[in-house]
A and B are shown apart, each in its own frame.
Chain A
Amino acid sequence: MVGVTALQSAVSIQIGIVVAYLLLALGVGLVAYRLTDRTAEDYYLASRTLGTVVLLFTTFATLLSAFTFFAGPNIAYALGPEWILVMGLMDGLIFGVLWYVVGYKQWLVGRAYGYVTLGEMLGDRFGSPALRALVAGISLFWLFPYVMLQQVGAGGALSALTNGVVPYWAGAGLITVFMIGYVALSGMRGVAWTDTLQGLFMLTMVWAAFVWVLSAAGGVGAATDALASSNPEFLALGDGSASPSLFGGGPYSLPWMLSQAIGIAFGVAMFPQVNQRFFVAKSEQVLKRTMALWPVVVLLLFVPAFMLGAWAAGLGVAMPESGNILPGILAEYTPTWFAALVVAGAMAAMMSSSDSMLLSGSSYFTRDLYRPFVNTDASERREDLIARVGVAVFATLAFVASLVNPPSLFVIGGTAFGGFAQLAPPVIVALYWSRTTRSGMVAAILASQLFYMVTTFTPPAGETATVWGIVVPGVMETFAGWSSSVVGMLVGLALVIGVSVLTDATVAEQPSVMQGPADD
């Protein structure tokens, strides 16, 4: 009886912490709602007024999905801590440079012409509503499964935390309802503020977990010694080969690490919720400060989080049933309430990604599909209303999809990033090269998406699968060790340049949109 009572009180503490956290997020959303004008620009972009701390944390918390928070330590647990290098290069450096190259340029253009979405900017530059719809359609195609993934993660985390007392569907449903609540109400301002809260919370929790586990395990030296005796290969950089090679190899070979870092970093910059943040900075000063802080924030979060995953292997922590090592190592070394706080932190990571994705997904739908094609003279207030309804519909559909048993986090997460990465080469070329033509854009976007989808969705080379009675042949997924995501980007780059050289601009195209006022 004592055991049952103890379990019940542990579960009620855990649920209490999670619900308190959700209510706090909703409260922040309500405060933001009171400050929001009823216009689309304010709803989506907080009227372009975000300051440094809020912009940094909203972008960062947005990047940190369920995938990063749980899958990162899992990868370090299974393969070794080199994932820290991959994520450092990806989110700290490549994304930092893209923050300037893509972000600052989009900010300048967006501020001058009032753009809210990537599709809107490209559609205007190339005089093509069809291009605008194409970019929005492709983005929504990759975004939807990714939102679903977050709900799967949140439902699973709540269910594992409470030993199944809260079933999976109830956990995912609870998160969905809360998110619809504060996103539909408060828009970008509410999302940015809750993200800041969530980002700070996660950072605090990871460091607390790091210190707690290490002091229980006897310090950094002892934890690493344990790893050196259980998995000595984890401490050696790379895949175990004697020297780095630019071609071939599996996990932690040089092509593998670079493919992950490049593919995901460019994908991140084209993810709607991140790309839209390029339009929201209050001033250049905000963009500048944020850029310099990127590598620091990445360092602060990923080193402790992923080392915990690697050390768990050395300390002999078994992978728990939930399939995530982070809750496993916490259950071993920290009290129940603390593990519950960290799981709340993981849910914060999922929610802060999902809320932004819902908002951006809704804006892509209303701005780039509904307004140009369904109701061209919708008023500001009408668009604002459609946007809020769109959030609720998008979230509900993703929730329903999440109830159907979905494939693993890593596979879908990885494929969505690659799908977005295919948009990067044509977009960057369009931002900087005035000779880019509409035909070049369309050819590059369609061909690179097709290339990526065929290589990703078909079975591995040499195997076949049968779908609805049709035998699908296997197609290679890596090329001399490089991922199809990176190879697809090269295909897109070659096509956008090649086709633009061979074709002429149509009269509707306006290269001046990207060129700026002082260029003649």
Chain B
Amino acid sequence: MSGRTASVVWAAVFALLLSLAIPWFLWDVSTVVAGLPVWLWWHIGWMLLAAGVFAVFTQRGWGVWMGGWSA
């Protein structure tokens, strides 16, 4: 990935992570699965996914947006 592509891709990835952290598509849903509301399961899964994405970012994307510091 070129520097410019990486900038845009990582910005999009972070925007996606943030925008689905509150599962608005499950609004007003009160279904309980295995003792917890289904939206809480989404939260647990999403946070684990975020940890994975952050880990990949630190390996592949670290230094993006840092301008003259990345060299």
Could you list which residues of chain A lie within 8 angstroms of chain B, going by C-beta atoms? 81, 84-86, 88-89, 92-94, 96-97, 100-101, 104-105, 108-109, 219-221, 223-224, 228, 232, 235-238, 240-244, 254, 257-258, 261, 284, 288-289, 291-296, 298-299, 303, 307, 432, 515-520
Contacts and interface: CB of A to CB of B under 8 A. Distances in A.
B22 A254 contact: yes
B68 A224 contact: no
Interface residues of B, number: 39
B44 A303 contact: yes
A326 B56 CA distance: 37
Interface string B1-36: 000000000000010011001111011111010111
A244 B44 contact: no
Nearest to B55: A292
A321 B23 CA distance: 35
Nearest to B69: A516
A296 B28 contact: no
A515 B65 contact: no
A146 B39 CA distance: 33
B35 A515 contact: no
A490 B61 CA distance: 28
A101 B62 CA distance: 11
B interface secondary structure, majority:
helix
Given A235-B37, A254-B24, A292-B55, 10 more contacts: A88-B47, A96-B54, A220-B36, A228-B30, A236-B29, A236-B37, A240-B28, A241-B27, A244-B27, A519-B67
Interface of B: 14, 17-18, 21-24, 26-30, 32, 34-37, 39-40, 43-44, 46-48, 50-51, 54-55, 57-59, 62, 65-71
11 contacts: A97-B14, A101-B65, A108-B69, A243-B27, A291-B54, A294-B51, A295-B54, A515-B67, A517-B71, A519-B67, A519-B68
Contacts of A92: 21, 47, 50
Contact of B51 (A94, A100, A236, A293): A293
Nearest to A289: B58
A294 B40 contact: no
Contacts of B44: 299, 303
A269 to B, nearest CB: 15
Given A291-B58, A296-B48, A518-B69, A244 B35 contact: no
B27 A238 contact: yes
A288 B58 contact: yes
A307 B41 CA distance: 13
A104 B66 contact: yes
A380 to B, nearest CB: 28
Contacts of A288: 58-59, 62
